[in-house]
Amino acid sequence: MREHAHSELLRKRRGKENCKPRAGAIGVFLLAFVLAWFSSAGAVFALSSETRGEGDPGVEAFSWGFKKAKGGNPPSIDEEGFRDLVERFGARFYDPSGKKVVYLTFDNGYENGYTARILDVLREKDVPAAFFVTGHYVKSQPELVRRMAQEGHIVGNHSYRHPDMSRMSAAEIRADLEKLNAAVREVVPGAEIRFFRPPRGIFDEKTLATARDLGMTTVFWSIAYKDWDPKVVHGGDHAVRQVLEQLHPGAVILLHSVSRDNAEGLPRIIDAVRAQGYTFRSLDEWGK
């Protein structure tokens, strides 16, 4: 079974909203919470044109999700409805070469005091990583972004405003992505931003097409867990266990830098993954 299936829940919620146009701030907050929770957890849904932004009626949108990897096998997206779209635009979520390689990636929407520690570990362990940053992160943490680049890590585009891009026109998406790239280049002059990760994992055809037109490859993930809420702390062992239970050849690991569990568990994650014969690679070494 898939980790989460919530399209029916969303349909019911939208139906209630249509019947009660005065839902107010509480309803808006609840809907935003549900969307953020499910999209981060890894589920898929189709948005109707009535709930989408203008300029894209009838275009199907998805939230990245998959059947979790088991027994060292890669996760499956065969039942999610977006495999053809992902393949058509060359989006990545795991390296199908069969080699025992893994790609470590982080999403950085805001700073919670752990990124410097994460960078220290990566330097000590000689592990490359990709950091997908937002406009807020770049503007508020220029020194950390500069350090990422100086220490050989990839700085990727996670959008400027972290919006639901399925509700935006292609022109609006392009403007947002270009604004983020420009912000990064203010901090890291001459930086090449070659990789993009859709905010909240929500995407549609025009999102992938716009990123490709800007010279960026879309990168999803094949290993993740609920690590985005900084108020939920289980300890470093929990982070290690979550990654190892899903480990498979070619994995793209997604960790959120706001998690204390990830910061505490990262050294052991790296050691345990290597102990199983895996090599950490950079996204720009894909397939090599």
* pLDDT tens across the length of the chain (288 residues): 343 333 333 333 333 333 333 344 444 344 444 344 444 434 433 333 333 445 455 679 999 999 887 889 999 999 899 999 999 999 999 999 999 999 999 999 999 999 999 999 999 999 999 999 999 999 999 999 999 999 999 999 999 999 999 999 999 999 999 999 999 999 999 999 999 999 999 999 999 999 999 999 999 999 999 999 999 999 999 999 999 999 999 999 999 999 999 999 999 999 999 999 999 999 999 977
Q: What is the pTM of this model?
A: 0.82
Active-site position among 158, 162, 238, 256: 256
Q: Is 6 tagged catalytic?
A: no
Q: Is 256 tagged catalytic?
A: yes
Task: Write down all domains in the chain, each with its CATH number in brackets.
Answer: 7-61 (no CATH), 74-285 (3.20.20.370)
3-class secondary-structure state, position 76: strand
Q: Specify burial of residue 7 (Cβ count, 10 A radius: 0-12, 13-18, 19+).
A: middle
Say how far apart CA 288 and CA 286 lie, in whole Å: 6
Active-site position among 6, 56, 95, 107: 107
The pLDDT value given to residue 58: 60
DSSP at 67: B
